[in-house]
Amino acid sequence: MKKQKFTYEKSGVNIGTANNFVKFLSNISSKNKGKKKFNNIGGFGSISNIPKKFKRPKIVACTDGVGTKIEIANALNKYDTIGIDLVAMSVNDLIVQGAKPLLFLDYISINKINLKKLKSIIKGITKGCKISLCELVGGETAEMPGTYEKGKFDIAGFAVGVVDEKKILDKKNIKKNDLVLALPSSGIHSNGYSLVRYVLNKKKINLKNNKFLKKELLKPTKIYVKEVLNLIDKKLINACANITGGGLEDNIKRVIPEGLKANIDLNKIKTKKIFSWLKQNNIGNKEMLKTFNCGVGFCLIISPKNLTIVKKFFTKEYKPYIIGKIIPGKSKVKLNGKIDWS
């Protein structure tokens, strides 16, 4: 009897399919590289230049994923927007330090390589990089049968940026009587989806038959890079905060110095329909504020004299508005009032 030969492919890993995906990535990189001198997709590492305009450059690095928003993409079989989310989650953190995003890498781990699915994800990542003014320089795709169930996958992103030492946004820039501005979110962004899915499950909601939720739950995270970098370049903001997991309070307190606090008026927050829908599903005010951005995707802390000119840098949809003020205090953040969910 002829002995059966064991192969990597029989174990569930197809190197040939993976190589075809690398070729696809290389073609995308070639089309989008612009003035980039190096192209190392498919190599062991990527080489990139540090822009010459920085006199004392400091490197800033961030990493993140999109959480269980992936399961919404799986449920709707729609993967062209979560790549934008992946980029947004890292680059929106970079700009909090004042850094310009330079490059981005992705990591995709999946049960079995599905070229159509992966290409759709990568196209979203490429779009996110274009919006963020950075380059997709490489990544890794791991086919992991046995670790992930059929059709399941996860993605992670890694962003590197650079900031001139003199332009680093620091807590010490914040002064008494500075204003706290809210920048509207595009929706839920990429936080709180385990709770969203819990509600869908408990309410037995068929996502595919609900036009409102189909549209809202896969809306890509707003990328604030262009607007915020322009404000930093003009020295119009003192600090900023990306409102992600933990909500307004937990994220704003990360940038407030000792001896001061952000006095936030929740009555002024302009929430969105998707958050009103969530609130109606037996979620308390405290839980909403801790889990979701509730309509505020990013915050700016500015001098009052700069308010009028700061607003000019944004479109009507993402126009900043005042939600608080910096006052003396020990608690760093004080939430007052109540959001109108209607």
Cα dihedral angle (29, 31, 32, 36), rounded to 10 degrees?
A: 80
Instruction: Give the least confident one: 16-30, 190-204, 215-229.
Output: 16-30
| pLDDT at 79 > cutoff 50 | yes
d(CA 20, CA 75): 26
Q: What is the mean pLDDT of residues 30-59?
A: 70
Span 157-185, average pLDDT? 95
Residue 45 has what pLDDT? 76
SS3 (DSSP) at 188 = coil
Please tell me the predicted confidence (pLDDT) of residue 52: 84
Q: Where are the domains of the chain?
A: 15-167, 171-187+222-336
Task: Please check the confidence at residue 18 and state whether its pLDDT lies above 80.
Answer: no
**Closest to 245 (Cα-Cα) out of 188, 285, 184:** 188
Q: How far is CA 45 from CA 38, 39, 105, 139, 322, in A?
A: 11, 10, 10, 9, 44
Residues 223, 133 contacting (CB under 8 angstroms): no
**Ramachandran region of residue 75, left (φ > 0), alpha (ψ -120 to 50) or beta?**
alpha
pLDDT at 262 exceeding the cut of 70: yes
* Cross-strand pairs, 164: 57
Phi and psi at 13, nearest 5°, equal -115, 125
Q: How confident is the model at residue 50 (pLDDT cuts 50, 70, 90)?
A: confident
Mean pLDDT value across the chain: 90
- CATH superfamily of the domain spanning 15-167: PurM-like, N-terminal domain (3.30.1330.10)
For residue 146, the model assigns a pLDDT of 87
Q: How confident is the model at residue 62 (pLDDT cuts 50, 70, 90)?
A: very high
On the CB side of 57, how many CA atoms lie within 13 Å of its CA?
14
Alpha carbon distance, N-terminus to C-terminus of the chain: 74
Residue 144 has pLDDT above 60, yes or no: yes
Residue 221 has pLDDT above 60, yes or no: yes
Give per-residue pLDDT as tens, 97-139: 999 999 999 999 999 989 899 999 999 999 999 999 999 998 8
What's the CATH code, domain 171-187+222-336? 3.90.650.10
* Helices 115-132 and 82-94, axial angle in degrees (round to 10): 30
pLDDT band at 38 (very low <50, low <70, confident <90, very high): very low
Whether 64 shows a pLDDT value over 80: the answer reads: yes
What whole-number distance in Å separates Cα of residue 218 and Cα of residue 74?
11
pTM over 0.85: yes
Among 115, 32, 127, 112, which residue's Cα sits nearest to residue 81? 127
